């Protein structure tokens, strides 16, 4: 217990710091707020520049309506906004901002400069804030619009700074934010410069497919299906809700290892919603393999009075008056888009290559958002031995497990996990010996990346080279791939993409190890794959030779053993 202190109202500085903590969590939050302000100002072009993962510099330039000289300093006061006037307006919000918290919050944790020229003014204004207070204001020329420069983010908040990930990871998150707004507003031209390199540029033509091409590349864009279900409405006891769902969703043969490419915009606002993401995924039921997630860009429009956007400090979550209606609308709209494109039979009765193998779940590495951990060993699971004894393979059961006999009991081996372990050890050994098992591609392949993937790739290139990927930059965000690890000749492209997705949510210190595990996992024997006797014997023999045969590289168990003792006790012998 700390000593009893007198109750008093906190000073403005402390209040500002606390408020800033909710709004500005990391560099990407600054980018989000500044981009939202630019969009609210009616900008046609928005340029974002970042250095040092956003902690050294974030600069957002727009050609919007600007801020009048006499209002500039006020914009940095807490709860100062031009977007609403009173509580009534909270239920009909059409702008992205409305809380008047972003600029003061940013100024509380960084040094800020603004150069702006408002509509109807002849000259521009420059303002500099240090420590949250105005340090300088003067007249300075510039064309219509606003440039906001944020330097030394969190320098005065070391506790915050400590929580940041590597610059590459923070850059990835910033790229994800800019990408989301580029998808939300295809009519605005976005440009992102990361550490001096152009990592994203959108045309701003207004065409969503063009925006998707700019962000995800032409290959993904070519597999997108339009969501044309325009209007859905229900009559409920207390009135009627109209929900419009438009946008594009990926065909089931385009899938990702995380939910990061499901983009949802509610009345133009980028939101995260587990419920609506789930609605999208539900529509793909039976079309995607377990553990795979679709690509979707959906604009959901509801009457402003039917959605509460004032429930989250960063405005990234919303609450619907009738969530079940919105859920249904999204699910039906996406399902409609999918059924319109696929042969009817494959929807009713999923066929290869979309089918979920009936024999069992396809194993995937855990999601980067960390929802799963290796399963906890259940009671009765045998203790893990250091080495495996010689085993005699008896056969395969359930298409997924190898049953073998050892001197002290019966072994049930997960064929996928076992193969992952074998392959992981082989790849690691070859890597240590600097002799990766490489296969040159007859024709060099190209890999087009999203800005976020490109940021991750830059951090993991040396490891990939050690594994056998020979890649060279080829344009802004594409790479020419000349050789790949031998076992990935088929599907190297998907393997790399999955790897970058998985690493995107990981601590950078774990990238190397995770990259090796991911490469080992790809094209490993799957659950559901029938194996011949010799194949099983070979796999078990290789597993016996690994240093740690009892777990796969992701930490899941590979073997369950039924001890002879247990059997004898059980049968009362």
Chain residues in the site for ligand ADP (CB under 6 A): 33, 37-38, 41, 62, 64-67, 75, 80-83, 97-103, 146
Token pair in block for residue 426: 């082989």
Q: Is the dihedral of CA 330, 333, 336, 337 positive or negative?
A: negative
Q: Which does 255 bind (CB under 5 to 8 A by kind): Mg ion, ligand ADP, none?
A: none
In this structure, which long-range contacts are made by residues 538-541, counting pairs with CB atoms below 8 Å and at least 24 apart in sequence? 539/402, 539/415, 539/418, 539/419, 539/422, 540/391, 540/393, 540/402, 540/404, 540/413, 540/418
Least separation in angstroms between CB 197 and ligand ADP: 24
Q: Which does 300 bind (CB under 5 to 8 A by kind): Mg ion, ligand ADP, none?
A: none
Asked if 152 and 103 count as a contact pair (C-beta separation under 8 A), the reply is no
For tokens 């993409």, name the residue.
Answer: 497
Least separation in angstroms between CB 50 and ligand ADP: 17
Least separation in angstroms between CB 70 and ligand ADP: 13
Least separation in angstroms between CB 103 and Mg ion: 7
Least separation in angstroms between CB 184 and ligand ADP: 16
Q: Which does 66 bind (CB under 5 to 8 A by kind): Mg ion, ligand ADP, none?
A: ligand ADP
Which range touches Mg ion (CB under 5 A), out of 37-45, 224-232, 383-391, 432-440? Answer: 37-45
Number of residues that bind Mg ion (CB under 5 A): 3
Token pair in block for residue 319: 């609450």
Least separation in angstroms between CB 103 and ligand ADP: 4
CA dist 517 and 230 (Å) reads: 44
- Which one, 29 or 277, has the nearer CB to Mg ion? 29
Whether cis (ω within 30° of 0) applies to the bond prior to 418 is no
Least separation in angstroms between CB 97 and Mg ion: 3
User: Beta 189-194 vs 45-51: how paired, if at all?
Assistant: parallel
Q: Binding of Mg ion at residue 97 (CB under 5 A)? A: yes
Least separation in angstroms between CB 274 and ligand ADP: 25
Binder among 48, 58, 102, 499 for Mg ion (CB under 5 A): 102
Asked if 277 and 263 count as a contact pair (C-beta separation under 8 A), the reply is no
Q: Which does 82 bind (CB under 5 to 8 A by kind): Mg ion, ligand ADP, none?
A: ligand ADP
Least separation in angstroms between CB 83 and Mg ion: 8
Q: Binding of Mg ion at residue 199 (CB under 5 A)? A: no
- Which one, 65 or 419, has the nearer CB to ligand ADP? 65
Instruction: Give the Cβ contact number of residue 418 at 10 Å.
Output: 24
CA dist 541 and 129 (Å) reads: 68
Least separation in angstroms between CB 38 and ligand ADP: 5
Token pair in block for residue 34: 């500044």
Q: Which does 64 bind (CB under 5 to 8 A by kind): Mg ion, ligand ADP, none?
A: ligand ADP
Asked if 183 and 151 count as a contact pair (C-beta separation under 8 A), the reply is no
Q: Which does 496 bind (CB under 5 to 8 A by kind): Mg ion, ligand ADP, none?
A: none
H/E element holding 503?
helix 492-504
> Beta strands of 87-201 (E only): which ranges?
111-117, 125-130, 133-139, 145-151, 189-194, 197-201
Q: Which does 436 bind (CB under 5 to 8 A by kind): Mg ion, ligand ADP, none?
A: none
- Which one, 67 or 295, has the nearer CB to ligand ADP? 67
- Which one, 33 or 448, has the nearer CB to ligand ADP? 33
Least separation in angstroms between CB 220 and ligand ADP: 31
Give the residue at shortest CB distance from Mg ion: 97
Residue 62, strand partner residues = 46, 146
User: Beta 189-194 vs 224-227: how paired, if at all?
Assistant: unpaired
Q: Binding of Mg ion at residue 37 (CB under 5 A)? A: yes
CA dist 175 and 476 (Å) reads: 14
Give the residue at shortest CB distance from ligand ADP: 97
Least separation in angstroms between CB 133 and ligand ADP: 16
Q: Which does 203 bind (CB under 5 to 8 A by kind): ligand ADP, Mg ion, none?
A: none
Which spans in 93-226 are helix H?
102-109, 158-162, 167-184, 208-216, 218-221
Q: Binding of Mg ion at residue 150 (CB under 5 A)? A: no
Q: Between 455 and 494, how does the x/- string for binding to Mg ion read (CB under 5 A)?
A: ----------------------------------------
Asked if 437 and 487 count as a contact pair (C-beta separation under 8 A), the reply is yes
- Which one, 101 or 111, has the nearer CB to ligand ADP? 101
For tokens 């064309």, name the residue.
Answer: 143
- Which one, 80 or 489, has the nearer CB to ligand ADP? 80
Q: Which does 38 bind (CB under 5 to 8 A by kind): Mg ion, ligand ADP, none?
A: ligand ADP
H/E element holding 501?
helix 492-504
CA dist 266 and 287 (Å) reads: 26
- Which one, 98 or 354, has the nearer CB to Mg ion? 98
CA dist 67 and 146 (Å) reads: 7
Q: What is the DSSP string of 415-475?
A: HHHHHHHHHHHHHHHHHHTT---EEEEEEEEEEE--HHHHHHHHHHHHHHHHHT-EEEE-S
- Which one, 83 or 151, has the nearer CB to ligand ADP? 83
Q: Coil, strand, or helix at residue 537?
A: helix
- Which one, 101 or 420, has the nearer CB to ligand ADP? 101
Question: What residues line the site for Mg ion (CB under 5 A)?
Answer: 37, 97, 102
């Amino acid at each position: 217990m700390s000593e009893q202190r007198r109750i008093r109202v906190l000073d403005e500085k402390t209040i500002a710091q606390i408020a800033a903590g909710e709004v500005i969590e990391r560099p990407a939050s600054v980018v989000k707020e500044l981009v939202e302000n630019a969009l609210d100002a009616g900008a046609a072009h928005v340029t974002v520049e970042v250095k040092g993962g956003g902690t050294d510099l974030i600069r957002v330039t727009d050609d919007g309506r600007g801020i009048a000289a006499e209002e500039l300093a006020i914009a940095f006061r807490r709860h100062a906004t031009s977007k609403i006037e009173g509580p009534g307006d909270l239920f009909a919000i059409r702008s992205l901002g409305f809380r008047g918290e972003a600029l003061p919050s940013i100024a509380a944790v960084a040094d800020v400069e603004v150069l702006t020229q408002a509509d109807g003014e002849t000259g521009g204004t420059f303002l500099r804030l240090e420590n949250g207070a105005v340090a300088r204001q003067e007249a300075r020329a510039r064309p219509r619009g606003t440039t906001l420069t944020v330097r030394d983010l969190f320098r005065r908040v070391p506790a915050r700074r400590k929580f940041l990930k590597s610059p590459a990871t923070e850059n990835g998150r910033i790229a994800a934010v800019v990408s989301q707004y580029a998808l939300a507003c295809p009519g605005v031209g976005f440009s992102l410069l990361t550490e001096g390199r152009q990592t994203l540029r959108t045309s701003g033509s207004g065409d969503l497919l063009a925006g998707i091409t700019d962000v995800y590349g032409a290959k993904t864009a070519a597999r997108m299906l339009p969501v044309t279900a325009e209007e859905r409405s229900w009559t409920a006891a207390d009135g009627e809700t109209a929900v419009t769902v438009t946008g594009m969703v990926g065909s089931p043969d385009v899938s990702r290892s995380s939910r990061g490419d499901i983009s949802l915009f509610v009345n133009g606002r980028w939101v995260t919603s587990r419920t609506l993401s789930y609605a999208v995924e539900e529509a793909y039921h039976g079309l995607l393999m377990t553990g795979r997630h679709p690509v979707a860009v959906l604009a959901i429009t509801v009457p402003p009075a039917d959605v509460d956007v004032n429930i989250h400090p960063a405005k990234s979550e919303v609450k619907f008056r009738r969530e079940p209606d919105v859920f249904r609308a999204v699910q039906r709209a996406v399902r409609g888009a999918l059924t319109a494109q696929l042969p009817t039979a494959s929807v009713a009765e999923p066929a290869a290559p979309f089918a979920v193998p009936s024999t069992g779940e396809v194993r995937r590495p855990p999601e980067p958002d960390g929802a799963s951990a290796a399963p906890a060993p259940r009671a009765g699971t045998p203790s893990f031995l250091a080495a495996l004894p010689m085993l005699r393979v008896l056969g395969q059961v359930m298409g997924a497990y190898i049953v073998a006999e050892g001197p002290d009991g019966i072994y049930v081996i997960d064929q996928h996990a076992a193969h992952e372990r074998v392959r992981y050890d082989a790849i690691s050994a070859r890597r240590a010996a600097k002799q990766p098992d490489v296969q040159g591609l007859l024709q060099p392949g190209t890999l087009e990346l999203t800005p976020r993937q490109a940021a991750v790739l830059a951090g993991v290139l040396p490891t990939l080279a050690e594994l056998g990927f020979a890649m060279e930059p080829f344009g802004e965000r594409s790479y020419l791939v000349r050789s790949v690890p031998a076992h990935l000749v088929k599907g190297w492209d998907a393997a790399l993409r999955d790897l970058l997705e998985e690493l995107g949510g990981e601590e950078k210190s774990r990238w190397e190890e995770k990259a090796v595990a991911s490469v080992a996992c790809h094209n490993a024997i799957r659950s559901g794959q029938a194996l011949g006797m010799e194949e099983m014997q070979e796999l078990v023999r290789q597993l016996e030779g690994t240093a740690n045969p009892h777990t796969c590289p992701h930490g899941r168990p590979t073997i369950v053993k039924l001890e002879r003792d247990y059997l004898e006790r059980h049968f009362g012998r």
